[in-house]
Amino acid sequence: MNRVKFVVRDDSPRATAVATRLAALLAENGVAVDDTDVDLVVAIGGDGTVLEAAAIAVRSGVPICGINVGRVGYLAEFGQDELTDLAEAISADTFLIRRRSTVSVSTGPHASSAINDVVVEKVISQRIIEVTVEINGRPLATYRTDGIIVASPLGSTAYSLSAGGPIVDPSLDALILTPIAPHSLLSRAIVLASDAVVTLTIVGDRPARINVDRHELCTVAPNEPITIRSGATFVEFLTLERRPFPHAVRENFGLDHA
């Protein structure tokens, strides 16, 4: 790899300092930091920065790696003490690439893809919505709820986890459907096959909002079907395989200190 792009958390002096140090290490190894014709996107920050960088990487057809300067940083594999090893691996191409699945959503004229999750949620904070869920054209359930999350395995540790969903190994291809604060007998998350097609329809007279990786896509009216499935594109992560899945879970959720 000869050229990389940085995406840096702009409100963090520590992220800026890490970017400056990494750029110098890369330059020593013959790798330039640039914004055009890049071979890799490097995110320096927390998970929000990795999501921003991942969207750029997918559009550019190149892999991504994340350096964590936040607290949890589940999506960022590298620590600040690994910059030298990372720079050497980038310059020598001594790394592995791991492909992670995405989630796509479409409704009416609107369509988008998510790295972490698609969330269909209430617009009026004091009032829940009623959502019917179909899987592959077959009825599953009708939820009275604050919303429905459909997450990728990579996104299982984000909003889905806080809503009671499972932690899923990101190497799997699957969809995780998690209701948010449901008033329903079926309150557990459901893990679906990667080829499942999820159709959500709002019942009644209350609209809903679709958020894609925390960014609003659109507002949907009742009876307008929302189709969610695994995305046609993948995110490719550069890795040195130093943090296998069990280690990442223990480290990022503080289990080593429990």
The rounded distance, in Å, linking the Cα atoms of 147 and 224 is 15
**E strands of the chain, at which residues?**
3-8, 32-33, 40-45, 64-68, 96-107, 110-114, 117-122, 129-135, 138-145, 147-151, 174-180, 190-193, 197-203, 208-212, 215-220, 226-239
The full length of the chain comes to: 258
Contact 41, 53 (CB under 8 A): yes
State yes or no: is 47 an active-site residue: yes
The rounded distance, in Å, linking the Cα atoms of 10 and 113 is 24
Taking the chain, what is the end-to-end CA distance rounded to the nearest angstrom? 40
Q: Which of 34, 37, 47, 213 is catalytic?
A: 47
Q: What is the DSSP string of 185-218?
A: S--S-EEEETT-EEEEEEESS--EEEEETTEEEE
Task: Report the C-alpha dihedral over residues 50, 51, 53, 55, rounded to 10 degrees.
Answer: 160
Nearest to 202 by CA among 128, 106, 150, 151: 128
Active site residues: 47
